Amino acid sequence: MKISVITAVYNGAETIEDTINSVAGQTYSSVEHIIIDGLSTDNTMSIVNRHRNDISVVVSEADTGIYHAMNKGIAVATGDVVGTLNADDVYENEQVLGRVAELFSDPALDACYANLVYVDRANLKKVVRYWTSQPFEPGLFFKGWIPAHPTFFVRKAVYDHCGSFDLDYKIQSDFELTLRLLELHRIRSLYVPEIWVRMRMGGTTNNSILNIIKGNLEAYKACKKHQLNVSPLFFVTKIAARVPQFFRRP
């Protein structure tokens, strides 16, 4: 079973090497690492080219944002299972992809996801926030719930059948995608109560108050687009659900 890992990057010279090494260091060998660069103007591509032997596919061309880049990666992926790892994230340990392959040996499984921790940008060992997920239940998305997307692995056949990221959403297309796959198509998923990813603070969705507001509006619009009956308190519930993550220490 081959696993494709897609990394979208733009001007990620500060962190991209950590991400490349994290994927290359996995004990599971049948891995295809795909890097989609949006014509970075810093040293990103020099670092990527230095590690070219560890990367299966490199594309460097203009795009309209992270989700456009991810869609390009999905289009060229040849793996049975597809996951995404942001250009400033790393896997928790060297066994994560082996664990994913083990789970997908069950032919009934369409997708799996786990927990992640947000860490300080300069210190990957300093945990700032724990994102502890839960098994999917119908209606969870109405409360602002979403699986931790960097831990979300799905069969390529699901993307082929259900579609990939909706580019109408610039910040929360991952919310719309997982809502569509889990809530509408009811693909068969499994929650694994393990930490799989270390995510640096300061990503697109949480790097400013304005982006947080825009992201919540997009998530609300995604629910409405799919004719899901969400409460006017959706925004409050979604934000409130994240607050304990800064204090919880499992």
**Ordered DSSP codes for 93-105:** STTHHHHHHHHTT
Domain that holds residue 202: 3-246
The pLDDT of residue 211? 73
- Give the tens place of pLDDT for each residue, 63-102: 999 999 999 999 999 999 999 999 999 999 999 999 999 9
Of the candidates 207, 215, 208, 203, the one whose C-alpha atom is nearest the C-alpha of residue 239 is 215
> For residue 82, how many C-alpha atoms fall within 13 Å in the half-sphere facing its CB?
19
The CATH number of the domain holding residue 49 is 3.90.550.10
Q: Residue 204: is its pLDDT beyond 70?
A: no
The pLDDT of residue 38? 97
Q: What number is the average pLDDT over the span 218-223?
A: 70
How many domains are contained in the chain? 1
The pLDDT of residue 143? 80
H-state helical runs in the chain: 16-24, 44-50, 66-76, 96-103, 156-162, 173-178, 209-225, 234-242
